[in-house]
Structure 1
Amino acid sequence: MFKIYLMLLMSCFGLIAAADPLYSIRGQVHNEQGKPLIAVSILIKENLLGTQTDTIGRFVIDKLKPGEYTLIISAVGYEKKFQRISINKTSVNNINLSLKRLAQNLKEVNVLGKQESHDNLIDFTRTPMPATVITRKQIEMMGSRRLDEVLKEQTGLAIVNDIGSGARAVGLQLQGFDSGYTMIMIDGQPMTGRNSGNFDLSRITVANIERIEIIKGASSCLFGSEALAGVVNIVTRQNIAQSQGLASVRYGSFNTLDATLEGETPFAGGKGSGYLSGNYYRTDGFNANPYLSEGKTAPPYNSYTLQGRARYTLSKMNALNITGRYAVRNSVNQTAYNTTPSRDVLNEKDLNASAILNTNFNSGWRVKTQYYLTRYATDQNITNLAGGYVIPSNNFVQYMHRGELQAAQTYFGTMVLTGGTGIQYETMNDNLYSGAKSQSTAFVYGQADWKISDELGITGGVRGEHHSRYGSSLNPSFGLKYQPVKALTLKAAVATGFKTPDFRQLYLNFTNLAGGGYTVLGTDVFAAELQKLQDAGQISAVFANAARVTTLKPERSVAYSAGFTVQLNANLKADVNGFYNDVRNFINTDQVASKTGGQQVFSYFNIDRALLAGADIGLNWKAGRGLNISAGYQLLYAKDRGVIDSIKAGTGNYAQVYDPNTSQTRRSKVSDYFGLNNRSRHMANIKFTYEYEPKGITATFRVNYRGKYGFQEANRPNGFLDPYDTYVSGFFLLNASLQKTLMDKHFSIQVTADNFMNYRDQLMPAQSGRTIMLGLNYRFFKNKI
């Protein structure tokens, strides 16, 4: 099936590309200074044929009959232009077109609108699932320093801790899925390195982020495994039009220092460009647990990040793009919970690098050929300071090599086809995983975005994968957008998701001596390692659910999304989207045995079905000159269908609830079941932003609410969160910022206050208390005359 699909897909692309044109229009687009402009849209008004300019501003439109045509030339930040062309049984060549920059954009050093990506031909905003874009300007106005600080203020996104793995395991929860189900990408390529499944977002600086693209909902049809919940794509600085630089420093609470130097410049007469950024960050950490007599729940650390990009036009058709990121983070945390003190040392190294050849053919086809490498390594050692011995810890190296070929073409000005194929090879060498492990995935995908009319558009795509262990899979998606009137847009989508078990779930063999002695076993090593513990006399009881620990199956989901956007008036817009995720073979973690000392043994197994459903609501109001008010709310239901069925039937582990108030055991009711751990039923935010441009003043005030969520079982274990278990209460976080620019926008000063009501909870170890920061920025650029 997979081979047949591959042949059909490539044949379709080949047939479409094979047709020869009758006549053509050729030309070049440049700005007022004579420099070529890339990604300029050229559209013929009469027949809607169109294309985009290549890396040196050239364009070609084929398949034209003799006649009179009107060209519509448009680009982000430039005035739209109309050009009349006459074809009389011959091609029209060497048309020189000049675009004039919009006056209002001259006020900004950085153009913050959407621009063509050099790294990925996939347009993240054209995927079937709902998409959100966070601009660089929004990040700067918030005064955020790390990626987790930006994302935790977005509607429907929650920053979560795996407390059993320590505060370093800080991840992103999207539509109720654990963070292991959201793919984190940089410039369109996946990043690696997870602690207990969580990708620690705090290790990423926002210093050179151009924008952040977020897709909510199953995105496996384009991005493969790990995109079951969605995608967060970090787009780094790309479009470089002039020489400029930045020096930035921030200092504040918890001895936190954030310093950045960056610079960019075109060279070789505009044929090339380069960007380089360096960031240093340090913090003394924070203690959220009153029972911790020494040390921090959010450990102290320092990090160094070096990021760069170089782009050079090799020929009229080809441009080479090189990107690189290298980050190092070091942390030492000495802790004592009124008992045995320990010293935890963690060193992390993170590398991302790619080489990309972009080719623009005269026919309008755009092709990207890319090799991508990422390497993530940790070296962690925990020392028992009383006994002087080293406790087994997490030391590993993970590599990913990825080769990919992408192609895209626009037809009739109304249809965009994007396709690709590639192979990915991963290796993991971990002292906890019984030696080196590897896996590989071959993939092919395609997507068509077709604007049938001014009112109706459809998006459809499919991805085929072949995993070295789990075989082949096919993941289609389909989306529909309909605009019956100008003020109302209706949208709906359905997509499938697919996720293979990760290294941890298959091979982990870990005993946390520093955290109470609990043990976690992957399914492939479970039987042998449990038998070793039994032979050593360390097991007191094996639970009935241990029989369910068998070879894990891949998780699959069907995601449904439907909603609407309505422009209530010129200043008020509302966006409503409902989602429903039906997940099969959901991988869950549970206790399967007890040790003689009372410690727990955990493993992984598939549960039949999980339900993750809810709705997102967003409002945006331009309340006055410079004042904008936006608000968001998410309602979420995250439940295991098996638990609900067991409660209804009155059988199994879930049939009983122990009430500590009456010291009685009674039959469970469906209303007793709150849902999956660590999911809030309600989340909301409201943001006030103000910008007074004549005086260079910007200010924000943001309120974020997260409702009550379950932490762990506290009474007699029955396998689900009932009313008598431990919960984290609902809470508000209040953040604000104020910035003033001076010296013709060269210099700015900013004050930020995060969590200024100083909310803390020992069950949220990474939630810092009140954080006040002062920032100074100086931009180096040549003023326009």
Structure 2
Amino acid sequence: MKKWFYTGLSCLLVMVVQGQETALHGIVRDKSSGETLAGATVVAGTQKAITGRDGRFTFGRTEFPVSVIVSMIGFKADTLLVNDGSKALYINLSTNSGVLSDVVVTGTMKAVQKMASPVPVEVYTPQFFRRNPTPSIFDALQQVNGVRPQLNCNICNTGDIHINGLEGPYTMVLIDGMPIVSSLSSVYGLSGIPNSLVERIEVVKGPASSLYGSEAIGGLINVITKNPAKAPLVSIDLSSTTWNEYNIDAAVKFKPSKKVTSLLGVNYFNYTHPYDKNGDGFTDVTLQNRISAFNKYAFQRREGRVANIALRYVYEDRWGGDMRWNKSFRGGDSLYAESIYTSRIELIGNYQLPVKEKLLFSYSFNSHTQRSVYGTTAYNAGQQVGFGQLTWDKTLGNHDLLAGAVFRYTYYDDNTPATLDQAGYTNKPERTALPGVLLQDEISLNGGHTLLLGARWDYHPVHGNIFTPRGAWKYTIGPNDVLRLNAGTGFRVVNLFTEDHAALTGARKVVIEGELKPERSYNVNLNYVKKIYTPGFWINIDASLWYTHFTNRILPDYSNPDEIRYSNLRGYSISQGGSVNAEFGFTNSLRGHVGVTRQDVTIVEKDASGVKERKQQLLTEKWSGNWSLSYTLPRGGWVMDYTGNIYGPMDLPLLSNTDPRSPRSPVWSIQNIQLTKKLGHGVEIYGGIKNLLNWTPARNAPFLIARSHDPFDKNVQYGPGQPIPNPVPGQPDIPTTVVLQTPENPYGLTFDPNYVYAPNQGIRGFLGVRWTLN
């Protein structure tokens, strides 16, 4: 009897053991997009596996319960306890990468997986920008390949964003998909957005007017703010530099009611200690006192319908100029300075209509007031822009449709000739209503092919009907290879932003030649994305080639020292080139990215004899590169970051043939290093050195500001010069004068602060602390 008892007990134990030692299998996916992840590391007890191309992993006999650890560079590791292997595991990892994230909305106005988007979109998260922390998004974009913040004045340090060599007016800036920047505010729109509220920044290079209309002729920068429901409870970032710059960035989440969640962010930047390290008697960096507040509300509605509204206010007082200047000299001709007061209000929101169909109404409004003085020249301006857009999103079989109606109203007024009537005596503010409709069809075809067809029609009260079509083709070669071909058109209805420093600092007369026609562009872009995963490292490669042809470009003519002339280009302009981005990571916690851009922006115009002349666009580099390297130490919570960028030579604006400054910039590079210590409980301390090479443009020039000792040209002597041909038929030539070369003025120059291509700020240390409470 005992024999049978022990035999039966042994069989039962074997059955139990066999039940606990079964196979374990599953799939690892990206939590945000649902895409399977190849190359993820899965550890179950003493066993280890790497997921295949389809994200799958399999273990043999496994003893349960078992702790499973899943990790992948660029994603947050996940640990879970598995009690049995009867069902497949579906493990979703959250992204932790700074570059090439996997959800985008800008390319098609829809939230789609980045690899699935037929339009190439680059995505950058706050983790990427924290490798080189900056007080504004404007400064942070210097880390993005092919995007360069360009300073336009040595004194007031205002600037714009260049994408693939194209100037600021060709770049549209959006917050949560709504346009916030047009002519007047393009200089200041990217300053004062609290970094603590930014979820990610999406960049589209190339015309996007078929979706976003005027100003989207060269590219888009879309600042996506955090969803209040998913944001941390509190986040604070305090920093300062050895140049006495102080920055405070804070955000707090709260619930005004059960179904409403709010996120309030505040940014304050203060730099009020002037430096003159290049010895020209003028401030090297503009002094700024800026405060910005951003409040976003998310409403919980039935059936998950969307409703958000946000309000932002920015006020800034900045000045640069003579080191002895104070506000009592504002507007006078004793000491020169450029003083700018800016006040800006923005309203942004969207509301999904309570109907069966997916109808989304999005809207924005901004009011921008500016009071500026450039020496004795006052520039006072106001602008209000209202924008509304209703879109219908519908899927029919293999067709993903998007249709919309849009309307934009712009009011603009200033104290310059740009807003005078044709007689030049009566003020006539610009009031422009711009309605339009758009239609887009994304067609899923067999064999991994996707075709996107889109078009937009706008009606301008002066220029009439404006039609902008586009098309895109995407071929998914495999789960880690995508090829895209995009072609389209863009347009820009010119709203002369007359805060042109060459005009204001020189008190030039603004002359508009004839009726300015809308600028047009025709673009083709080829993009290839390759992802490589191995047990030891991963790399994502994003490469593009582009060609853009412009007609009717508006180019200023400074040949007459007393005036600035705006007219349509009597020829065409070309922007062409290629870029490569590579993001990589190793299992030893080393990660980074490298980007290289080669570009050529050429202007082709006929001279007086009808012969075509080719010239390079001013302040446009032929090549550039940037990089970042981050290494997480195995112990102690230390992270090291090394970032930098490098720019090739560019043509610079000179005053005359006798100007002794170089007509081309040298190769220059800004490099930075940072060390971060994570202390736990959401606290981290960071510090480092910016501009390690202590490079400034003053190194290679006899002077940057021409005649800084005589900013009002009181000692400049003029003599008769050759008449300049007037392009208006039937009118006599306009006589002009030339600046004489005298012992006091040996180069024959006038005051000019526009010889600028890089920051004047040298080496400096920085220190900061962050705290996040989830």
How high is the TM-score relative to the length of structure 2? 0.72
Write the mapping of 1:125-274 to structure 2, written as runs, cut at 5 A: 129-163=119-153, 166-192=155-181, 194=183, 198=187, 201-238=190-227, 240-241=229-230, 244-265=233-254, 271-274=259-262
Q: Deviations over 1:12-59 (max 9, x none)?
A: xxxxxxxxxxxxxxxxxxxxxxxxxx99989xxxxxxxxxxxxxxxxx
Of 666, 669, 673 in structure 2, the residue corresponding to residue 736 of structure 1 is 673
After alignment, is 690-699 or 433-442 more displaced?
A: 690-699
Q: Deviations over 1:483-525 (max 9, x none)?
A: 33444322111010111111337xx899957x3x3414141xx
Q: Deviations over 1:269-315 (max 9, x none)?
A: 5x33111111111113766783531x414310111111111112243
After alignment, is 610-619 or 307-316 more displaced?
A: 307-316
Counterpart position of 1:352: 346
Shift of 1:198: 4.4
Shift of 1:592: 5.2
2:600 equivalent to 1:637? yes
Shift of 1:369: 1.5
Q: Deviations over 1:60-80 (max 9, x none)?
A: xxxxxxxxxxxxxxxx9999x
Distance in 2 (alpha carbons) for counterparts of 1:629 and 1:218: 29
Counterpart position of 1:526: none
Distance in 2 (alpha carbons) for counterparts of 1:580 and 1:115: 26
Contact 1:245 1:262 in 2 (8 A): yes
Q: Tell me the SS of whatever aligns to 1:502.
A: coil
Counterpart position of 1:282: 270
Shift of 1:573: 3.2
CA gap 1:759/1:344 in 2 versus in 1, 3 angstroms: same
Counterpart position of 1:377: 369
**Letter of the aligned partner of 1:302 in structure 2?**
N
Counterpart position of 2:386: 401
Contact 2:383 2:411 in 1 (8 A): yes
Q: Deviations over 1:303-347 (max 9, x none)?
A: 111111111224346443211111111124341799952243321
Q: Percent identity?
A: 17
Of 546, 550, 566 in structure 2, the residue corresponding to residue 583 of structure 1 is 550
**Letter of the aligned partner of 2:335 in structure 1?**
P
Shift of 1:482: 1.2
CA gap 1:215/1:113 in 2 versus in 1, 3 angstroms: closer
Counterpart position of 2:631: 690
Contact 1:172 1:199 in 2 (8 A): no
Q: Deviations over 1:702-738 (max 9, x none)?
A: 1200100001246549xxx9x9961111101102222
2:297 equivalent to 1:304? no
Distance in 2 (alpha carbons) for counterparts of 1:695 and 1:415: 52
Contact 1:288 1:764 in 2 (8 A): no
Distance in 2 (alpha carbons) for counterparts of 1:260 and 1:290: 31
Of 478, 481, 484 in structure 2, the residue corresponding to residue 491 of structure 1 is 484
Counterpart position of 1:367: 359
Q: Tell me the SS of whatever aligns to 2:616.
A: coil
Q: Deviations over 1:376-429 (max 9, x none)?
A: 11112356xxxxxxx2311111001112211213344x5432221121111012
**Higher Rg:** 2
**Letter of the aligned partner of 1:619 in structure 2?**
A
CA gap 1:128/1:499 in 2 versus in 1, 3 angstroms: farther
Counterpart position of 1:593: 560
Of 707, 713, 718 in structure 1, the residue corresponding to residue 648 of structure 2 is 707
CA gap 1:382/1:715 in 2 versus in 1, 3 angstroms: closer
Of 680, 683, 687 in structure 2, the residue corresponding to residue 751 of structure 1 is 687
Contact 1:615 1:635 in 2 (8 A): yes
Write the mapping of 1:51-62 to structure 2, written as runs, cut at 5 A: none
Write the mapping of 1:95-134 to structure 2, written as runs, cut at 5 A: 105=94, 121-123=109-111, 129-134=119-124
Distance in 2 (alpha carbons) for counterparts of 1:192 and 1:355: 16
Shift of 1:462: 0.9
Counterpart position of 2:583: 620
Shift of 1:582: 0.6
Of 476, 495, 498 in structure 2, the residue corresponding to residue 502 of structure 1 is 495
CA gap 1:397/1:488 in 2 versus in 1, 3 angstroms: same
Counterpart position of 1:70: none
CA gap 1:692/1:120 in 2 versus in 1, 3 angstroms: farther
Contact 1:128 1:478 in 2 (8 A): no
Shift of 1:449: 2.4
Distance in 2 (alpha carbons) for counterparts of 1:225 and 1:348: 24
Gaps of at least 5 residues in structure 2 are: 1-30, 36-74, 79-87, 326-332, 421-426, 698-703, 705-755
2:639 equivalent to 1:727? no
Distance in 2 (alpha carbons) for counterparts of 1:379 and 1:167: 13
The alignment of Structure 1 onto Structure 2 pairs a total of residues equal to: 618
CA gap 1:636/1:520 in 2 versus in 1, 3 angstroms: farther
Distance in 1 (alpha carbons) for counterparts of 2:374 and 2:773: 45
2:280 equivalent to 1:292? yes
Let me know the Cα RMSD of the aligned residues: 3.8
Write the mapping of 1:450-599 to structure 2, written as runs, cut at 5 A: 450-453=443-446, 455-504=448-497, 515=505, 517-523=506-512, 549-570=513-534, 571-591=538-558, 593-594=560-561, 599=562
CA gap 1:742/1:335 in 2 versus in 1, 3 angstroms: same
2:338 equivalent to 1:341? no
Contact 2:238 2:249 in 1 (8 A): yes
Q: Deviations over 1:628-675 (max 9, x none)?
A: 1321111111111226xx6xxx946987xxxxxxxxxxxxxxxxx661
Shift of 1:170: 1.0
Shift of 1:355: 3.8
Contact 1:748 1:778 in 2 (8 A): yes
After alignment, is 249-258 or 602-611 more displaced?
A: 602-611
Shift of 1:475: 0.6
Gaps of at least 5 residues in structure 1 are: 1-37, 43-75, 80-98, 384-390, 524-548, 656-672
Distance in 1 (alpha carbons) for counterparts of 2:297 and 2:186: 33
Shift of 1:265: 3.9
Shift of 1:139: 2.2
Of 437, 441, 446 in structure 2, the residue corresponding to residue 448 of structure 1 is 441
Q: Deviations over 1:420-469 (max 9, x none)?
A: 11211110121123332211100111222233235212222111111122
Q: Tell me the SS of whatever aligns to 1:177.
A: coil
CA gap 1:283/1:102 in 2 versus in 1, 3 angstroms: farther
Shift of 1:695: 4.2
CA gap 1:589/1:329 in 2 versus in 1, 3 angstroms: same
Contact 1:167 1:765 in 2 (8 A): no
CA gap 1:330/1:651 in 2 versus in 1, 3 angstroms: same
Distance in 2 (alpha carbons) for counterparts of 1:500 and 1:443: 13
Shift of 1:562: 1.0
Q: Tell me the SS of whatever aligns to 2:574.
A: strand
CA gap 1:469/1:704 in 2 versus in 1, 3 angstroms: same
Shift of 1:262: 1.1
Counterpart position of 1:64: none
Q: Deviations over 1:135-186 (max 9, x none)?
A: 122123332321122211111112212238x543311111221110000111
2:696 equivalent to 1:760? yes
Contact 1:292 1:337 in 2 (8 A): no
CA gap 1:175/1:754 in 2 versus in 1, 3 angstroms: same
How high is the TM-score relative to the length of structure 1? 0.71
**Letter of the aligned partner of 2:543 in structure 1?**
V
After alignment, is 192-201 or 313-322 more displaced?
A: 192-201
Q: Tell me the SS of whatever aligns to 2:138.
A: helix
After alignment, is 316-325 or 435-444 more displaced?
A: 316-325
Distance in 2 (alpha carbons) for counterparts of 1:171 and 1:315: 42
CA gap 1:129/1:340 in 2 versus in 1, 3 angstroms: farther
